[in-house]
């Protein structure tokens, strides 16, 4: 008799204490967590990480800087292997979908920041990334070519880690200042390596609409399929929202929603034990038939054929 495949579940990790038990490190006000992985704690972390057989959603902005060694892991069913002098950015919308393994002789910084802090930080007058950086389908990771750029980034991580571990009267202010500088260094690396434009100071109304739409799409895109939902959230008409998106991104509101749902559907269909019916339900379609028509319209193939091609 064949053993049935175990259906993977999705776990949302919300408390840093749960992560600290696995990785070690420091946390502050359950908003920021940071660890420096070395030979002393890598083996224990690897052993603990192997226990996770399910999908893990961190709901955090995670930045990994590899000083030495290699890390292999899976994000959204994409297997990734990073080597020394690499930087990885994992958005709050991504999920860990496979085992994570760190080479024993490595040294790594792992920084995790709650989305609430990210929103607060991005609302301050400072350079901010274009809407592209909020696309959950982008997982920026790259090797930092210039030694000077890597050293500057490393120094920012060193400084923040130092303050995370200290007990000082003005710790909150030291952390905020050093974290802001580090995030700017990360943003600088992303914009330089990925050619993502940034805006400074006041941004045009149209750019603000696009940025807010992208955030709404990441938050509600799997459940809300109608352009009117997003237009109402932004207090504008559907026609105006689509015209702004079309002018700046060459795609209207419906196209963006369709692409978001399609890419999410592909990931769900690729998951172990997935069924078309379950994916249709998770993406809030009325039934399997309507999901199938939607999927074929946007991909040119049926969900069943897509699953068979994997």
The pLDDT score that the predictor gives to residue 218 is 81
Q: Tell me, what's the pLDDT at 289? A: 93
* Average of per-residue pLDDT across 178-193: 78
pTM of the model: 0.62
The answer to whether residue 93 scores a pLDDT higher than 80 is: no
Distance in angstroms (rounded) separating the CA atoms of residues 112 and 28: 11
Arithmetic mean of pLDDT, 129-154? 67
Per CATH, which fold does 10-198 belong to?
Jelly Rolls (2.60.120)
Domain layout of the chain by residue ranges? 10-198, 208-309
Decide if pLDDT at 283 tops 90.
yes
Which of 104, 34, 97, 99 shows the shortest CA–CA distance to 65? 34
The percentage of residues in the chain with a pLDDT greater than 90, rounded to a whole number, is 29
Q: Is the pLDDT of residue 219 over 90?
A: no
What pLDDT was estimated at residue 66? 94
Work out the pLDDT band at 74, boundaries 50, 70, 90.
Answer: confident
Residue 98: predicted pLDDT: 72
Percent over 70 (pLDDT), the chain? 79
> What CA–CA distance (Å, rounded) separates 145 from 269?
36
Q: What is the pLDDT of residues 223-250, one digit of tens each?
A: 999 999 999 999 999 999 999 888 877 7
Q: Residue 6 above 50 pLDDT?
A: no
Measured N-to-C along each axis, helices 253-270 and 288-299 cross at an angle, to the nearest 10 degrees, of: 110
Of 17 and 166, the one with more pLDDT = 166
For residue range 22-73, list pLDDT tens digits in order.
888 999 888 889 999 998 888 888 777 766 656 677 777 888 999 999 998 8
Question: Can you give the pLDDT at residue 165?
Answer: 92
Region of 229 please: left (phi>0), alpha (psi -120 to 50) or beta: alpha
Residues 8, 53 contacting (CB under 8 angstroms) = yes
CATH code at 208-309 = 1.10.10.60
b/e burial code for range 153-185 (CB count within 10 A of at least 16 → b): bbebbebbbebbeeeeeeeeebbbebbeebbeb
């Amino acid at each position: 008799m064949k053993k049935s495949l175990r259906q993977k579940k999705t776990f949302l990790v919300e408390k840093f204490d749960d992560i600290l038990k696995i990785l070690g490190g420091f946390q502050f006000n359950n908003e920021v967590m940071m660890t420096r992985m070395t030979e002393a704690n890598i083996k224990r972390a690897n052993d603990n990480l192997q226990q996770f057989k399910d999908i893990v959603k961190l709901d955090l902005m995670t930045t990994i800087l590899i000083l030495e060694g290699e890390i292999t892991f899976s994000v959204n069913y994409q297997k990734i292997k990073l080597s020394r002098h690499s930087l990885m950015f994992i958005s709050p919308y991504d999920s860990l979908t496979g085992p994570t393994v760190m080479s024993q002789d490595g040294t790594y910084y792992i920084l995790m920041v709650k989305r609430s802090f990210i929103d607060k930080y991005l609302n301050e007058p400072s350079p901010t990334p274009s809407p592209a950086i909020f696309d959950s389908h982008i997982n920026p990771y790259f090797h930092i070519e210039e030694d000077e750029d890597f050293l500057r980034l490393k120094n920012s991580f060193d400084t923040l880690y130092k303050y995370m571990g200290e007990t000082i009267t003005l710790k909150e202010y030291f952390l905020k200042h050093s974290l802001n500088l580090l995030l700017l260094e990360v943003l600088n690396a992303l914009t330089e390596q990925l050619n993502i434009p940034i805006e400074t100071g006041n941004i045009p109304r149209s750019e603000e609409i696009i940025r807010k739409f992208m955030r709404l799409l990441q938050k509600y895109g799997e459940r809300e399929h109608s352009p009117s939902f997003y237009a109402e959230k932004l207090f504008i008409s559907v026609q105006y929202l689509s015209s702004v998106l079309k002018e700046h991104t060459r795609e209207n509101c419906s196209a963006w929603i369709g692409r978001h749902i399609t890419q999410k559907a592909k990931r769900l269909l690729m998951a172990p034990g997935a069924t078309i019916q379950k994916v249709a339900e998770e993406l809030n379609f009325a039934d399997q038939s309507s999901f199938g028509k939607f999927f074929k319209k946007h991909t040119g193939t049926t969900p069943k054929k897509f699953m068979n091609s994997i």
